[in-house]
Amino acid sequence: MSAGWGLTTAIDAVLSVILAPACAACEEPLERPTQGPVCERCWRSILPLTPPLCDRCGDPLPTWRAVSVPLERCPRCRRTPRLVDRGRAIGAYDGALRAIIHALKYEGRRSLARPLGALMRRRGADMLEGAVCAIPVPLHASRRRYRGFNQAADLARHVGIPAVAALRRVRPTPTQTGLPAAQRHRNVRDAFALTRAGAGLAGAAVVLIDDVSTTGATLEACARALKHAGVREVRALTAARAVFSRM
Contact residues for Zn ion (CB under 5 A)?
23, 25-26, 39, 42, 54, 56-57, 59, 74, 77
Shortest distance, CB of residue 91 to Zn ion, whole angstroms? 15
CB nearer Zn ion, residue 56 or residue 109: 56
CB nearer Zn ion, residue 109 or residue 169: 109
Shortest distance, CB of residue 145 to Zn ion, whole angstroms? 31
| CA-based nearest residue to 137, from 155, 158, 152, 115 | 152
Based on the number of CB atoms within 10 Å of its own CB, is 115 exposed (0-12), middle (13-18) or buried (19 or more)?
middle
Shortest distance, CB of residue 178 to Zn ion, whole angstroms? 22
Distance CA 183, CA 230 (A): 27
Shortest distance, CB of residue 64 to Zn ion, whole angstroms? 17
Packing angle of the helix pair 113-123, 95-106 (nearest 10 deg):
130
CB 130 within 8 A of CB 90: no
Distance CA 62, CA 126 (A): 22
**Beta-bridge mates of residue 163:** 134
CB nearer Zn ion, residue 77 or residue 155: 77
Shortest distance, CB of residue 28 to Zn ion, whole angstroms? 5
CB nearer Zn ion, residue 164 or residue 223: 223
CB nearer Zn ion, residue 133 or residue 236: 236
